[in-house]
Amino acid sequence: MAVFDFRGITIATGKSVRGVRDAENAKALRALLRRDGVLLTLATEEAAGKATKKRDLDLLKWMRRVSTGDVATMTRQMATLVRAGIPLVDAIGALVDQVEKEDMRAILTHVREKLNEGTSFAKTLEQHPRAFPPLYVNMVAAGEASGTLEQVLERLAEFMEAQARLKGKVGAALAYPALMLIIGTVLISVLMVVVVPKVTAIFDSLERALPWYTQTLIFVSTTMAAYWWLGVIALVAGGWFFRRWKATPAGLMQWDSLLLRLPVFGVLLRMLAVARFARTLATLLASGVPLLKAMEIVRNVLGNALLEKVVVEATTSIREGESIAEPLRRSGQFPPIVTHMIAVGERSGQLEQMLESVAGSYDNLVETRVQMLTSLLEPLMIVFMGGAVGFIAFSILMPLIQMNDFVQ
């Protein structure tokens, strides 16, 4: 079979497209593309090795641009089509025509080609790790093996949509305080570097001592104006050394341990990790993924090295015959209520339901804590920025008032 580098025009929209496709000859390629809604305009046969390498590079480029939202939407649509009785290959073909983004369309086209060649769905998805993480691939593999692919796809869609909703709520709640912090920092920096030196220049002609707060303001302003570049260098160098340190296993473990010990944010980060752990494990187990394999996958979604170590040790204990709850309780990193509910779920045979309850409860707690935190941050930031601007104004105006009184 020959490999062609082709260019064409979509029949529906008239957009130009290009790609790499396998076909017996140019005539067969034209027929294949017409079936996909593309009019062939140019086809160049390439050496198999060169074409395969080019296609792999193109797919790698596309996979970098695939977002979780795109995958979740595609999964929901695929689940609907498969549940309606449409064969998987035809369902993916319909999605190729449905999706608007070129990156997702390219990956789905490649998946459909591999399915037509006889490759399993899970093995095909495994070739696109940046679009389909191990959790996705293993759930699809379990669905294929058990004949429940449509239910697995629906669970995947619900799981990814729930994660996206939680992430969106947290991001939206923190966006306003972050914006205020950036604007306030820029405003105060401009005042200190540009405005204050010009205003305080008139104090040089005074033959009297300035108040301590005005002297402090002038010193800080002069230092910032003269050595701002040193601050930038220190910031960049500090960031570089921090990234190097955090890239080491020991540094990452120390940093993640420190984050979990923070007074307010540590509790919030732990809640997020527990909710992610419970929902992911429940979704995997309900989809038929074996427990040990599910624990290995869950470890990669926690986002904290210390908690990942706990899950690894728990997996080893489970392999040796222990329950899930006991090693988690022994670590001291999971809240007692969580380990208790997991233990009850194990004894009653309702582990998936218990994990879903834990995930839902902690999702609600995270949302409540974030809202409470942002409601406190906003007035605190306003007070801080107002106090900074007020100090600048007070330090400038008081000497002027005192000078006016002295003249009178």
Domain at 302, CATH number: 1.20.81.30
Report how far residue 247's alpha carbon sits from residue 375's, in angstroms, rounded to the nearest whole number: 34
For the chain, the residue count is 408
Residue 106 lies in a domain: no
Residue 103 lies in a domain: no
CB 163 within 8 A of CB 92: no
Strand 38-46 vs strand 2-10: parallel, antiparallel, or unpaired? antiparallel
Residue 199 lies in a domain: yes
Give me the pLDDT at residue 61, please.
46
Residue 353 lies in a domain: yes
Q: What sections of 65-120 are H helices per DSSP? A: 68-83, 88-98, 102-116
Report how far residue 111's alpha carbon sits from residue 102's, in angstroms, rounded to the nearest whole number: 14
Q: What is the pLDDT along the chain (408 residues), one digit of tens a residue?
A: 566 777 777 777 777 777 767 677 777 878 888 887 777 777 777 554 444 444 544 544 444 556 777 888 888 888 888 888 888 888 888 888 777 777 788 888 888 888 888 888 888 888 888 788 887 888 888 888 777 788 888 888 888 887 777 777 777 777 877 888 888 888 888 888 887 887 777 776 666 677 888 888 888 888 888 888 888 899 999 999 999 998 898 998 999 999 999 887 888 889 888 888 888 888 888 888 888 888 888 887 788 889 989 999 999 999 988 888 999 999 888 999 999 999 999 888 888 889 989 888 888 888 888 878 878 877 888 888 888 888 888 888 887 777 665 544
Give me the pLDDT at residue 205, please.
66
Q: What values do phi and psi take at 217, rounded to 5?
A: -60, -45
- Per-residue CA distances from 274 to 106, 280, 366 (Å): 35, 10, 10
Helix, strand or coil for residue 100? coil
Give me the pLDDT at residue 57, please.
42
Residue 100 lies in a domain: no
Range of the domain at 254: 166-408
Give me the pLDDT at residue 100, please.
74
Give me the pLDDT at residue 378, please.
78
Domain at 51, CATH number: 3.10.20
Q: Which residues contact 116 (CB under 8 A, 6 or more apart)?
A: 89
Residue 153 lies in a domain: no
Residue 189 lies in a domain: yes
Q: What sections of 248-332 are H helices per DSSP? A: 249-261, 265-286, 291-299, 305-319, 325-331
| 52 and 179 together in one domain | no
| 188 and 52 together in one domain | no
Report how far residue 238's alpha carbon sits from residue 374's, in angstroms, rounded to the nearest whole number: 28
The amino acid present at 15, given as its one-letter code, is: K
Number of domains in the chain: 2
Give me the pLDDT at residue 51, please.
47
Q: Please report how many Cα atoms fall inside a 13 Å half-sphere around the Cα of residue 184, on the Cβ side.
A: 18
Give me the pLDDT at residue 48, please.
46
Instruction: Report CA Rg, the chain.
Output: 30
Report how far residue 358's alpha carbon sits from residue 342's, in angstroms, rounded to the nearest whole number: 9
Tokens 């809240």 appear where?
335
The amino acid present at 359, given as its one-letter code, is: A
Domain stop point among 62, 86, 101 = 62
Which regions of 108-228 does DSSP assign to beta strands (E)?
A: none
Residue 90 lies in a domain: no
Report how far residue 37's alpha carbon sits from residue 390's, in angstroms, rounded to the nearest whole number: 66
| 171 and 56 together in one domain | no
What pairs with residue 44 in β-bridges? 5
For the chain, the maximum distance between any two Cα atoms, rounded to a whole number of angstroms, is 100
CB 275 within 8 A of CB 341: no
Q: CA 378, 262, 372: angle at the middle one, nearest 5?
A: 30
| 369 and 241 together in one domain | yes
Give me the pLDDT at residue 119, please.
84
| 54 and 189 together in one domain | no
| 51 and 175 together in one domain | no
Q: Which of 92, 97, 150 is nearest to 125 (CA)?
A: 92
Give me the pLDDT at residue 60, please.
46
Q: What values do phi and psi take at 18, rounded to 5?
A: -150, 155
Report how far residue 408's alpha carbon sits from residue 393's, in angstroms, rounded to the nearest whole number: 23
CB 70 within 8 A of CB 38: no
Give me the pLDDT at residue 63, please.
46
Give me the pLDDT at residue 405, please.
57
Give me the pLDDT at residue 245, please.
92
Provide the whole-model pTM.
0.66
Contacts of 221-225 with C-beta under 8 Å, sequence gap 24+, read: 221/192, 221/193, 221/196, 221/197, 222/197, 224/189, 224/192, 224/193, 225/192, 225/193, 225/197
User: How would you class 330 by CB atoms within 10 Å of its CB: exposed for 0-12, middle for 13-18, buried for 19 or more?
Assistant: middle
